[in-house]
Structure 1
Amino acid sequence: MRATWRGLPAARHAAGWEPGLAVPGADGSTLLTDHYFPRAEGDFPTLLVRSPYGRGLPWSPMYGMLFAEQGFHVVLQSCRGTGGSGGTFDLWRNEPADGQATVSWLREQPWFNGTLGTVGPSYLGYVQWALALEPPPELKAMVVQMGLHDPYALFHADGVLRLDNALAVGSGMTYQHRGVAAFVKATLRLQRRIREAVAARPLRGAYVPALGGEVPWLDEVMTHPDAEDPYWQGASLAEAAERSAVPVSLITGWHDALVDQTFAQYERLRRAGCETALLVGPWTHASALQKGWPEVFAESLAWLRAHLCDDPSGLRPTPVRVHVGGHGDMGKRGDMGKCGDMGKKGGQAAHGGRPGAGGGGRWRDLGAWPPGGTAAPAPTAWYPTWEGHLTREAPAPTDTAPPASFRYDPADPTPSVGGPLLSPAAGPRDNGTLEARDDVLTFTGPPLDEPVDLFGPVTARLSVTTDTGHADLFTRLCDVDPRGRSVNVCDGLGRTSAGTPIGTSGSTSVRAPVRADVPMSVTAYRFARGHRIRWQISAGAHPRYARNPGTGEPRVDATALTPVRVTVHADSALLLPESPPTAPSAPAPGPQGPGKAL
């Protein structure tokens, strides 16, 4: 494991291992648990790591051995119904009770000194929030890496199925806990058969050949798109952050599929007055634990030592550190790797100056997110024009001409390119082929005379007309370099309402314009001098999102497909959280080592 990464801290102790301990779950089921420990005299705090993905690779070396070498007992446990544990796995309903049962077991262990922390990514973050609903007195710190707290938001956006996420989670939850060989086989099968699965009509049940069998909980997830449906009651653990007093370190990447959930956690923790740290790197969900692991591990270790070992020496001087993308350091055309890095040449290295460690961009330490907090300036509006330009000049009140329209055909859905996904296709990508399609609109600003810095949420305020009343709106912010290459920064998807019919044109109804505010996630990004800001608008990103059939039918059951014409009106606007450009400053010390600050 140490040979995989440079920059990991030296081991403080040799580590031992007790595999296959039987811990009673809340329902009496046996929860198989491995215990890693420092081979040394003395008391050491304990880390609880509960996982539905098994206890082998990568969890055993990355969380068991590495943290035990640093002076922690590590309890690595398979969730109910996974990895040999008894009972039946449920996507969320068992975690609070089983977490509390495990802490009760810990209290009886002779090596447990009464000081407990939690750590882990993705669903391993969800089980941390489950424990924090009623935090035991021993819980002194949490490290939530690329963490989940709301399963609904993982699978749906504004009622639209996140199809790519659903299939990735279905495969991971079903096979990863069975071992590396089973998971690799399942991953290859999904790759071979994903096209037929996502293109099927109806969509319901079409995943079975791609996943190798039925997954009952996945059927339920896919067929309950309404967040208010009783099915989702109790799934979100947002309330844990709303009243938390346990110090929490949050780690995510700008292209993580759960990045918005992490920022929601941060906001709730800050409102609750909870001690909170935030690290946002140039990572996807997967690459944070690959290329980003030295930074992620160092951040996690420093937080746990500070709150479990009374050793704050490794903490950053500021509570927030973000990687600021852009700066013109995008590498050569086609250099972007499959983990979302943007090429080695010219890229400012992440902490320690390692070329290519995180692509173009620099790190910035902040007192809060977004910079300035409630005093942050209002977002700047950029407006589309009929010539395809993007300008800060608002249209005249008398300008009612729509700037552009396009026809979306669900039989040939607009494809997804990069962005915040769970799959290896995530991250920044060249959008040139996508933007050449007739069903994608682009509005592009002039070459910038000075850099434009963005820190905060990006939003699209759309005024649109549709001829059928059934359409999605996918909107994306892109950075266009002097060579014309367009790279995605952040994006979002919403739905139009039907609009009121106001007449007919031939056989087609004419509807009144409707307004739709579409959140496009958050960013810290610099558009370099000479680059251009581009606003991209389409009616979908398939198979990232299940296509809109255009008929009003539920997406999983639709068999008929109807094209729709979408017209974007001149009073639409792209709202950007612009900040005054900041000159580079001296690097701030921190557990990640010397990095170039912004």
Structure 2
Amino acid sequence: MKPRIERDLRVPMRDGTVLLADRWAPPNGDGLPVVLVRTPYGRRRAVRQIVGPLVEGGFQAVVQSTRGTFGSGGPFDPLRRERDDGLDTVEWVTGQPWFGESMVLYGMSYLGFTQWAVADALPPQVKALVPGVSESALTLEFLRADGFSLETPFSWGVMVGVQERPFFLLRMLLGGRRLQRSLRTLPLNRADTAALGHRSDYLQDILVHDTASPFWRNADHRHRVAGTRVPVSTVGGWFDIFLPGQLRDFRALPDARLTVGPWSHVSPGVMEAQTTEALEFALPLARGETPAERAPVRLYVMGEEKWRDFPSWPPPGYEDRPFHLHPGGTLGTDPPEESDPDGYRYDPADPTPAVGGVRMAFGVTAGPVDNTALEARPDVLTYTTPPLDEDVEVVGDVRAEIFFRSSLPHADVFVRLCDVDAGGRSVNVCDGLTGVDGADRVTAVEVRLWPTAYVFRRGHRIRVQVSSGAFPRYNRNPGTGEPRATATTLRTADQEVFHDPGRPSAVVLPVRAVEV
């Protein structure tokens, strides 16, 4: 059944700005539950894949272009205008003659963020939220003062900067190499011109304003999550850029369920899972019915390659177990003995590359990949267990404490957890980076890795990598302490990693407790 589409509906905002929306509905769709999607990416591109199955399943859909995009009025000010505009749009929808009694908010990434912006102030007609691969403080994880994630916000800024030009997708595909080259620009505040041919306000903002800056106050909706009074079903991926914040939001919600699969940010499985949640969870709620019972948490356990249900995140029954770094590149649960530190040289002019993992940019590969070439580099240390006598099941938050010293006062510590199979192939599981000021003194560096659910099989080995970068996922540390926007000097550093009784470097894994 072909849906009826009403184009360019005019939605007035409180300041007089008019945003445009399209309505998708079955031929006799008046009064059906409404699914509202607010997007900065246009009302034509990929919209049929997003809302088509929902309209076929029993919704009518309203797809709105956010302020300053694709015909909607006002300037596009990413992330910072979505609360008032979102609340005004919800009120407008409830006042339309074709609106029935209920509404659901839906969408992935930025489209999920627009839901969090209004989550604590929704009228009773809104019955559920379904945000996917998203979180309530969308960009702020990338802009940490102790770990600036360059690639994702920069690639996104370039994308939205050209998305309304003709042949957008072709431009992005052909411009992928140009974009990657632009990330090497010094100073970084000229990288936008290298990639786009002109300055970008958004790209300048992310370079100047870090996570703690008041500039992002209107883009930070973390405080609204606990006040959400409608049921939420949230879908994420183990290699998604927003996973840590998404899990933080889930833990704060009073009524929610969570699905996490083996996906990166743009994996097709995310959209499939979200469609399922919209039709099996949100639509019954919108109809005044009770969704089919399901465990609050459903996780894909990698290594085991199996979906499993849990009562919470993090799930009960797992205990933190330190795996200590030892001399000779070994890893084990025994505390280290007296030993000399290991060393390597980090050169930001030839930075340690990002390989797979948590990535989002045109032309790059995300997720689990072969790490053989990466581990052969002299600026990457590896520590590996003997072959495992039994399966080791890891589910939860992963962290590391690395005792570290640099020849320079400014350095980064990157830690990656890998699974080495019986053939010696090393595949990444999760990772993270922390920047250190005062690194020229021995420092216990806390590194938060991405959460995971993984079974290391018997006969496999657990490996930990330690290095000082993953470029361009993270900005290369120049070693000088200069502001990231204006730094021009790159200094090579000699790094040391300690593993002795007084400085017991370790990765801490949440391991299933042995049942007695």
Instruction: Write the distance in 2 (CA, Å) between the matches of 1:183 and 1:42.
Output: 35
The one-letter amino acid paired with 1:395 is P
Match of 1:19 in 2: 7
Match of 1:385 in 2: 326
| Corresponding position: 1:197 with 2:141 | no
Match of 2:143 in 1: 156
The one-letter amino acid paired with 1:410 is P
1:104-162 Cα offsets, whole Å, 9 max, x none, are: 22232111123111000000011101121422222210000111321343432444321
| Corresponding position: 1:249 with 2:249 | no
What secondary structure does 1:231 align onto? helix
Shift of the alpha carbon at 1:316? Answer: 4.7
What secondary structure does 1:265 align onto? helix
Judged with a 3 Å threshold, the aligned counterparts in structure 2 of structure 1 residues 118 and 29 are, in CA distance, closer, same or farther, namely same
Match of 2:209 in 1: 224
Match of 1:81 in 2: 68
Shift of the alpha carbon at 1:70? Answer: 1.4
What secondary structure does 1:478 align onto? strand
Judged with a 3 Å threshold, the aligned counterparts in structure 2 of structure 1 residues 80 and 581 are, in CA distance, closer, same or farther, namely farther
| Corresponding position: 1:53 with 2:41 | yes
1:349-398 Cα offsets, whole Å, 9 max, x none, are: xxxxxxxxxxxx111011112221xxx443100111111000100124xx
The one-letter amino acid paired with 1:215 is S
Return the TM-score normalized by structure 2.
0.95
Match of 1:483 in 2: 423
Please identify, of 228-237 and 206-215, the stretch whose mean Cα deviation from structure 2 is larger.
206-215
| Corresponding position: 1:543 with 2:472 | yes
Question: Which structure 2 residues correspond to residues 82-231 of structure 1 after superposition, within 5 A?
Answer: 82-176=69-163, 178=164, 181-225=166-210, 227-231=211-215
| Corresponding position: 1:40 with 2:28 | yes
8 A Cα contact 1:44 1:113, kept in partner? yes
Match of 1:268 in 2: 252
Judged with a 3 Å threshold, the aligned counterparts in structure 2 of structure 1 residues 445 and 311 are, in CA distance, closer, same or farther, namely same
Match of 2:219 in 1: 235
Shift of the alpha carbon at 1:42? Answer: 6.5
Instruction: Write the distance in 1 (CA, Å) between the matches of 2:303 and 2:348.
Output: 34
Question: Which structure 2 residues correspond to residues 297-446 of structure 1 after superposition, within 5 A?
Answer: 297-313=275-291, 315-327=292-304, 361-372=305-316, 376-396=317-337, 399=338, 401-423=339-361, 424-446=364-386
Shift of the alpha carbon at 1:461? Answer: 0.7
What secondary structure does 1:407 align onto? strand
8 A Cα contact 1:452 1:581, kept in partner? no
8 A Cα contact 1:402 1:567, kept in partner? no
The one-letter amino acid paired with 1:283 is W
Shift of the alpha carbon at 1:190? Answer: 3.2
Match of 1:589 in 2: none
| Corresponding position: 1:519 with 2:448 | yes
8 A Cα contact 1:384 1:403, kept in partner? no
Instruction: Write the distance in 2 (CA, Å) between the matches of 1:530 and 1:391.
Output: 15
Shift of the alpha carbon at 1:30? Answer: 1.6
8 A Cα contact 1:281 1:322, kept in partner? yes
Instruction: Write the distance in 1 (CA, Å) between the matches of 2:94 and 2:206.
Output: 36
Instruction: Write the distance in 1 (CA, Å) between the matches of 2:386 and 2:471.
Output: 30
Shift of the alpha carbon at 1:49? Answer: 0.5
What secondary structure does 2:244 align onto? helix
Return the TM-score normalized by structure 1.
0.82
What secondary structure does 2:133 align onto? strand
Judged with a 3 Å threshold, the aligned counterparts in structure 2 of structure 1 residues 486 and 581 are, in CA distance, closer, same or farther, namely farther
Residue among 575, 579, 582 paired with 2:512: 579
Instruction: Write the distance in 2 (CA, Å) between the matches of 1:139 and 1:185.
Output: 38
What secondary structure does 1:299 align onto? helix
Instruction: Write the distance in 2 (CA, Å) between the matches of 1:405 and 1:529.
Output: 31
Match of 1:353 in 2: none
8 A Cα contact 2:33 2:99, kept in partner? yes
Judged with a 3 Å threshold, the aligned counterparts in structure 2 of structure 1 residues 245 and 410 are, in CA distance, closer, same or farther, namely same
What secondary structure does 2:73 align onto? coil
Instruction: Write the distance in 1 (CA, Å) between the matches of 2:144 and 2:176.
Output: 24
The one-letter amino acid paired with 2:365 is A
Instruction: Write the distance in 2 (CA, Å) between the matches of 1:142 and 1:300.
Output: 9
Shift of the alpha carbon at 1:537? Answer: 0.5
Shift of the alpha carbon at 1:62? Answer: 2.4
Judged with a 3 Å threshold, the aligned counterparts in structure 2 of structure 1 residues 136 and 566 are, in CA distance, closer, same or farther, namely same
1:277-307 Cα offsets, whole Å, 9 max, x none, are: 10001111001xx244333311222111231
Paired residues, number: 509
What secondary structure does 2:369 align onto? coil
8 A Cα contact 2:102 2:126, kept in partner? yes
Judged with a 3 Å threshold, the aligned counterparts in structure 2 of structure 1 residues 579 and 316 are, in CA distance, closer, same or farther, namely same
Gaps of 5+ in 2: none
The one-letter amino acid paired with 1:99 is G
The one-letter amino acid paired with 2:303 is G
What secondary structure does 2:118 align onto? helix
Instruction: Write the distance in 1 (CA, Å) between the matches of 2:349 and 2:333.
Output: 36
What secondary structure does 2:169 align onto? helix
The one-letter amino acid paired with 1:474 is F
1:64-99 Cα offsets, whole Å, 9 max, x none, are: 322111111211000010011111111122111111
Judged with a 3 Å threshold, the aligned counterparts in structure 2 of structure 1 residues 237 and 518 are, in CA distance, closer, same or farther, namely same
Match of 1:285 in 2: 265
What secondary structure does 1:22 align onto? strand
Instruction: Write the distance in 1 (CA, Å) between the matches of 2:417 and 2:315.
Output: 21
8 A Cα contact 2:352 2:467, kept in partner? yes
1:201-258 Cα offsets, whole Å, 9 max, x none, are: 2111223232343211221112223x22222223211112121111110101101111
Question: Which structure 2 residues correspond to residues 504-515 of structure 1 after superposition, within 5 A?
Answer: 511-515=440-444
8 A Cα contact 1:189 1:210, kept in partner? no
Shift of the alpha carbon at 1:57? Answer: 2.0
8 A Cα contact 2:130 2:274, kept in partner? no
Judged with a 3 Å threshold, the aligned counterparts in structure 2 of structure 1 residues 172 and 26 are, in CA distance, closer, same or farther, namely farther
Judged with a 3 Å threshold, the aligned counterparts in structure 2 of structure 1 residues 41 and 49 are, in CA distance, closer, same or farther, namely closer
Judged with a 3 Å threshold, the aligned counterparts in structure 2 of structure 1 residues 475 and 195 are, in CA distance, closer, same or farther, namely same
The one-letter amino acid paired with 2:295 is T
1:328-369 Cα offsets, whole Å, 9 max, x none, are: xxxxxxxxxxxxxxxxxxxxxxxxxxxxxxxxx111011112
8 A Cα contact 1:202 1:558, kept in partner? yes
8 A Cα contact 1:302 1:312, kept in partner? no
What secondary structure does 2:319 align onto? coil
Instruction: Write the distance in 1 (CA, Å) between the matches of 2:197 and 2:302.
Output: 39
Match of 1:452 in 2: 392
Instruction: Write the distance in 2 (CA, Å) between the matches of 1:261 and 1:146.
Output: 10
